[in-house]
Chains A and B, each alone.
Chain A
Amino acid sequence: MKSRMMIVALIVTLVPFSVVFSEDTRIEGEVSVVGGYVGVTGGEGGEAKFTEYKDLEEPWRLFGNIDLGLDSEKYFLNFEANDIAYDTQRYILDGGIWGKFKFDLFYDEIPHNITFDARTYYEGAGSHNLTGTPNVNFNTWNTFDYSIERKRYGTGFGLPLIKPFFFDVSYQREEKDGIKAAGLAASTPGGFIVEAPEPIDHTTNNLKVEGGYGKNPFFLSFGFLYSDFNNSNDKLTFTAPTAPFLTDVLTLPPDNNSYKGFFKGAVKLPFNSKFNVNLGYGVARSDTTLVDSYVSGAARTAFTLSQPDFEGKVKTQNYAFVLTSNPLRFLDGKIFYKYYDRENDGDVVTQTTGTTVFTNPLFEYKRNAAGIDLGFRLPAQLLLNTGYKLIMTDRREENVEVESLPDNKDDIYSVELRWNGLDFMTPKAGYEKLIRSADFEGATPENRRHAYAGQRRDVIRIGVDTFPSENFSVGLGYYHKWIDYKEDIGLNKDERDGFDISADYTFRSLAKLHGYFDYEWIEFSPDQFRLSAPVGAWEAKQKDRTWGYGLGAEFYVIPEKLTLYILHDYLKSNGNVDFTLDPALFAAATGLAAGNNENVDIMRWDDYTKYSFMFKAAFSVTKSLIVSAGYVYERFKYNDIQLDGYQFVNPPGGPVTGSNGAFLTGYQKDQSYRANLIFTSVTYKF
């Protein structure tokens, strides 16, 4: 809180410098105070879900907002403050001398709440050291919040004075603090698991400097990016769940930094053409001390390391050359070549235990892309865009016996048609086709990674924006996407459809009505195969149907004096998984002994319903003073097979063993909630 107040004070002290402004200085802005009550009914997860990106934990609250602008013929200065002293507060100060220089300062906080009052048998939640032995009496466990707070502050400076040259510099620092969930497998595979709090104490500094020259026919820009990430805890030590006398270690993100130099340029050419270049070279580095053992069961497995530390180093290079041309009034053309290379120069470390040696592979890839886009302006204001793109991806893994990652060749064809010839509507349609080939090496089916698998992807989009009158507009859209994977095993189909509509209508000066409806249907169909005994094929069709609508109205009861607002939003998602298993799989080894193809399907798969109502009245006491009051009701109902009937200890009461066993913390438990908000605000404009 102290640092927050210091930042507020710093920014506010800068405001009085406005006195240097001349007499023609114009001051505009508004100050508002919002007070209210929030009542949330829900479990630990529900309260957090409602306040996911908000700070509404206290039932009574009072927010302050300031928006201030000072402007003269020579100078400008703007100051904006929102949610003063809350976890969502934001302050922005920007100003400068017109045409000479400009600057900005900002401070911003973003909370991300996930679950309040989570539990762990460990002591030290939030620190890098967790101690304690498992016990099944979760009512006695320690509580903590899964919540992350981001604080960002930064500044920027620009020099329009030197036009046609330019120079900009910006700096941003982000501090991230909180707790996320980590998994601590007691032994793998097959052992019980422990969910635990992982500390987040990250600081990232980002600096960007860019300068150049912009005057036709040239644009030249040179820049440098530097990013530095520091993690106060690059390891989480914890009492081994299976051996209370041993300490185990979970590695966390290491400190790292990266820099990148770039050049972007363009030169205008005859025939309304322009040649554009983007060149970049970057290096990312990390540095960490390696862990030389882990605990398995009641014993420690130790490794002999070829070196105690690991230095990661990844170099990236990118080149892009694009020629655009509009040689004829009806023709727009673009031809391009792009190259991106990730080269891994990280250390190769061997870790030896007994006769087993582990060596980290170095993953690298190159991506070459070339293509051409042609846009035709046809009669009757028809706009036709066509495109072809060839993308070649070359993946390499060093230090592996068989490279399982394939190279890809993607052919992408696209066509879009838009008709601007009508006053009252703009219809448009688009189609894209991707054909990917993959040259997997090795015959084993487990190498068939769907992300790289051969596929045919078709996307169709159609839409229309209509404006029947000045005060009425309707937009409609539909898309269909189909991916057909060529591999026999793994995801073999991804199909989805979506539809949306929006409408706005203003009824004279009496009311404004608006609404929307969205619908989406998704189906994934993987054909899987269990390779280890009992061997057998299985299929899991995942279906998601989501739809929502919103209705809103503004009634100008007394024009420019009293306005009523009504808003209602509704969203529902219904997912399920339809399994079809080879009868051979219903064997004890997979835990499916009690199953058959009638009772294995999942009917609650991230199912949720969210709806809200808002009523608000705003009354302009004078032109400068506005008073408003309102009420919001929001409901979120969430059901999911993986969280319903949540148990902190599984099986309840123990004994916690094997691949059914778990000590959990309550992460995302009970996310449903009901919330009531009553608020009133006073806004003064000047």
Chain B
Amino acid sequence: MRKGPLIFLSVVFIFFLVLIAQNSVKGDVGYVGTETCKGCHEDYYNRFVKSVHGKKAVPGNPANRDGCESCHGPGAQHAEKGGGKGVAIFTFGRKDDPREKLAKCLTCHEETKTLAFWNMNRHRAAGNSCDSCHSIHKGTSKDLLAAKEPDLCFTCHRDIRFQFNKQSRHPVNEKFATHQKLTCSSCHDTMGSFVAESVDSFTSRLGTGRGKMLRADSAKELCYKCHAEKRGPFLWEHPPVEENCLICHDSHGSNHSKLLVRKVPLLCQSCHIEGHPGSPYTDLHSFQGPATSGKNRFFARSCLNCHTNVHGSNGPGSRGKAFVR
């Protein structure tokens, strides 16, 4: 028998044994208790007690374990050295390794539905940690967010803010409103998400990389949650509609009505060039234009003046097939 594999396996076994032994040696050395922390950090303590983390009724909560030190680690050295930001204590500062910060939170939250798939999440891949969005001590909302949506998201996603300012948009960033009708998290699962249909073929309008963290298995399944009338199934289907709403619509906002990615008729003409869609419709086809024919294919709602059922039709014969009835 060759000894090489045996030696290799032995080394691996010993390595894991040492790791396990190290993890099991956790004791209460260096812990000072929450009351000691309160002595200097009363504001933080008061907010902690009020927050969900301070509820003893919740099993496994910091309140049931080591209080402040559940997350910040043993505080004895910190106290002995007279305190100070980051002195012998883990503070979740901006310079701290995101993975270390994550590990603290995931100790409890990894087993929850919310964070079960955090390991696949794009926010994680980009090097974020929980405190990028959550403020455990200062967060005012139920979710302890550092700011309200969508402002919190716009801190990084400034280009998306721009889309939501446009004249055709979903009501996520309405000015002078007491509350927003939709939030980013209405559609995006920012901490988990496990999209089954890859949407990257038709999106990446601006973005690069890995998924859009949708709250559904596909883009259209997400849209159907509010726009169930588009679900059909119809007798006459418009294939791009059945495949991905994002082929024609920009879900955040657009300069063009109905959040369209391009203005009709040029949007339709991007695909349809046979028959009359193959004609150029120009300035001459406006209300005051001198065109001698074809104007009603351009002014007002343009192609939709006739092809009103572009999302699908149950109409008869050629009228249904062309989405006219």
CB distance from B147 to the nearest CB of A (A): 11
Given contacts A256-B231, A316-B217, A645-B287, 17 further A-B contacts (CB under 8 A): A183-B306, A219-B111, A310-B314, A358-B320, A367-B197, A416-B209, A500-B158, A518-B161, A529-B273, A530-B280, A540-B266, A540-B269, A569-B165, A575-B255, A600-B282, A662-B305, A668-B257
Q: A229, A431, A489: which contacts B228 (Cβ < 8 A)?
A: A229
A682 to chain B, nearest CB (A): 14
B117 contacts the other chain (CB 8 A):
yes
The answer to whether the Cβ of A391 comes within 8 Å of any Cβ in the partner chain is yes
Q: Is B30 an interface residue (CB 8 A)?
A: no
Could you say which of B113, B208, B279 contacts A214, with CB atoms under 8 Å apart? B113
The minimal Cβ–Cβ distance linking B286 to chain A, given in whole angstroms, is 5
* Residue A554, interface by CB 8 Å: no
The answer to whether B205 and A334 have CB atoms under 8 Å apart is: no
- For this complex, 5 residue pairs linking A to B, each with C-beta atoms less than 8 Å apart, are A291-B316, A314-B242, A319-B196, A526-B266, A599-B284
Q: Which of the 9-residue segments B2-10, B34-42, B67-75, B290-298 touches chain A?
A: B290-298
| A274 contacts the other chain (CB 8 A) | yes
**Cβ contacts under 8 Å, A369 to chain B:** 197-198
A residues within 8 A CB of B159? 477, 479, 498, 500, 518
Partner of B202 from A182, A451, A603 at Cβ < 8 Å: A451
In Å, the complex CA distance between A647 and B162 comes to: 33
Q: Which residues of B contact A678 (CB under 8 A)?
A: none
A188 within 8 Å of B (CB atoms) = yes
* Contact of B22 with A by CB under 8 A: no
Contact indicator B235/A395 (Cβ below 8 Å): no
Residue A98 interfacial (CB < 8 Å): yes
| A213 CB, min distance to chain B CBs, angstroms | 9
Report the contact-size class of chain A (Cβ under 8 Å from the partner).
35 or more
B300 adjacent to A284 (CB under 8 Å): no
CB distance from B102 to the nearest CB of A (A): 11
Complex Cα distance A210/B174, Å?
33
Instruction: For the complex, give the distance between the alpha carbons of A263 and B246 in Å.
Output: 26
**Is B171 within 8 A of A110, CB to CB?**
yes
Q: A310-B314, A662-B305 are in contact. Are A231 and B292 (CB under 8 A)?
A: no
| B295 / chain A contacts, CB cutoff of 8 Å | 591, 650, 659-660, 662
For B127, B198, B272, B298, the residue with the greatest tally of chain A CB atoms inside 10 Å of its CB is B198
Bound complex: CA A349 to CA B237 (Å) = 13
Chain A, Cβ-Cβ closest to B321? A358
A262 to B117, CA, bound (A): 15
Which of B240, B256, B270 touches A606 (beta carbons < 8 Å)? B256
8 Å CB contact of A644 from B278, B287, B315:
B287
When the two chains form their complex, are residues A599 and B283 in contact, meaning their CB atoms are under 8 A apart?
yes
Give the one of B177, B207, B235, B302 with max A CB within 10 A. Answer: B235
Cα–Cα distance between A100 and B56 once the two chains are bound (Å): 12
Q: Is B178 an interface residue (CB 8 A)?
A: yes
Tell me if A594 is interfacial: C-beta within 8 Å of chain B.
Answer: yes
| Chain A proximity mask over B192-230: 1 for CB below 8 Å, otherwise 0 | 001111101110111111100000011001001110111
Q: Judge whether B313 is part of the interface by a CB distance below 8 angstroms.
A: yes
Say yes or no for B11: interface residue by CB 8 A criterion: no
In the bound complex, residues from chain B placing their C-beta under 8 Å from that of A436 are: 201
A142 within 8 A of B: no
Among A54, A100, A647, contact of B287 (Cβ-Cβ < 8 Å): A647
Contact of A229 among B155, B231, B234 (CB under 8 A): B231
Choose among B206, B263, B282, B294 the residue that contacts A498 (Cβ–Cβ < 8 A).
Answer: B206
Quick check: is A147 within 8 A (CB to CB) of the other chain? no
Q: Is B275 an interface residue (CB 8 A)?
A: yes
A317 to B226, CA, bound (A): 21
Taking CB atoms, residues of chain A closer than 8 Å to B291 are 591-592, 594-595, 660
Encode contact with A along B304-316: 1 for CB under 8 Å, 0 otherwise: 1111110111111
B29 contacts chain A at the CB level, 8 A cutoff: no
In the complex where A183-B308, A526-B270 touch, is A338 in contact with B233 (Cβ < 8 A)? Answer: no
Nearest-neighbor residue (CB-CB) of A421 within chain B: B95
Once the chains are docked, how many angstroms separate the CA of A501 from the CA of B159? 9
Q: Using CB atoms, name the residue of chain B closest to A202.
A: B229
Using Cβ atoms and an 8 Å threshold, which residues of chain B touch A481?
Answer: 205-206
How would residues 55 to 96 of chain A score, 1 for a CB under 8 Å from any chain B CB and 0 otherwise?
A: 000000001010000010110001000110000101000100
A99-B57, A318-B218, A373-B210 known; A204+B228 contact, CB < 8 A: yes
B231–A78 CB distance below 8 A: no
Report the Cα distance A538→B266, complex, angstroms. Answer: 12
Residue of A285, A294, A532, A659 with most partner-chain B CB within 10 A: A659
| Known interface pairs A185-B324, A358-B317, A606-B255; A530-B201 also in contact (CB < 8 Å) | no
Residues on A with C-beta less than 8 A from B119 are: 266, 274, 276, 324
| Interface flag for B148 (CB, 8 Å) | no
Given contacts A65-B178, A518-B165, contact A256 B233 (CB under 8 A): yes
Decide if A659 touches B296 in the complex (CB within 8 Å).
Answer: yes
Residues of B within 8 A of A591 (CB): 279, 284-285, 291-295
The answer, yes or no, to whether B26 is at the interface (CB within 8 Å) is no
How far apart sit A683 and B313, CA to CA, in the bound complex (Å)?
Answer: 51
A178 CB, nearest partner CB in chain B, Å: 12
Any B CB within 8 A of the CB of A153: no
Residue among B202, B221, B319 with most chain A CB within 10 A: B319
Is A414's CB under 8 angstroms from B210's CB? yes
| Residue interface mask B18-57, A partner, CB < 8 A = 1 | 0000000000000000000000000000000010100111
Give bound CA distance, A280 to B196, whole Å. Answer: 9
Q: State whether A461 touches B207 (Cβ < 8 A).
A: yes
Q: Which of A212, A282, A590 contacts B280 (CB 8 A)?
A: A590
Question: Is A40 in the interface zone, CB < 8 Å from B?
Answer: no
A631, B280: Cα distance in complex, Å: 47
From B167, B305, B318, give the contact of A195 (CB < 8 A): B305
Q: Is A206 positioned at the interface, with any CB of B under 8 Å from its CB? A: yes
Q: Which of B95, B275, B279 contacts A590 (CB 8 A)?
A: B279
Stretch from A1-9, A10-18, A133-141, A161-169 forming part of the interface with B: A161-169
Tell whether A614 pairs with B176 under 8 Å between CB atoms, given A212-B113, A229-B231, A342-B242. Answer: yes
Instruction: Determine whether A505 belongs to the interface, using a CB cutoff of 8 Å to chain B.
Output: no
The minimal Cβ–Cβ distance linking A410 to chain B, given in whole angstroms, is 5
Nearest Cβ in chain A — how far from B117, in angstroms? 6
Does A124 make an interface contact (CB < 8 A)? no
Contact of B59 among A99, A318, A459, A592 (CB under 8 A): A99
A540–B270 CA distance with the chains assembled, in angstroms: 11
Shortest 10 CB-CB contacts between residues of A and residues of B: A312-B233, A318-B196, A591-B291, A432-B208, A446-B274, A340-B197, A253-B229, A98-B57, A183-B308, A600-B282
- Tell me which of A529, A590, A661 contacts B296 (CB under 8 A): A661
Query: Which chain B residues border A636 with CB–CB below 8 Å?
Result: 167
Q: Is the CB of B125 within 8 A of A332?
A: yes
Q: How far is the CA of A605 from the CA of B235 in the complex (A)?
A: 34
Please, what's the 1-or-0 string for B109-122, where 1 marks a CB less than 8 Å from any CB in chain A?
01111001101100
A73 touches B55 (CB 8 A): yes
**A215 sits at the interface (CB 8 A):** yes
Docked Cα-Cα span, A531 to B269, in Å, equals 13
Residues of B within 8 A of A573 (CB): 166-167, 255
Q: Which of A73, A198, A408, A677 is most buried by chain B, counting CB atoms within 10 A of its CB?
A: A73
Complex Cα–Cα for A251 and B297 (A): 21
| A585 interface hit (Cβ, 8 Å) | yes
Does A509 lie at the interface of the complex (its beta carbon under 8 Å from any beta carbon of B)? no
Q: In the complex, are the beta carbons of A288 and B314 less than 8 A apart?
A: yes
Q: Please state if A659 and B317 are interface contacts (CB–CB under 8 Å).
A: no
Q: Is A258 in the interface zone, CB < 8 Å from B?
A: yes
Closest Cβ of chain B: how far from A541's Cβ, in Å? Answer: 10
Which chain B positions have C-beta within 8 A of A592? 280, 282, 284, 291
Q: B145 contacts the other chain (Cβ, under 8 Å)?
A: no
A98 touches B52 (CB 8 A): yes
Residues of A within 8 A of B94 (CB): 423, 467
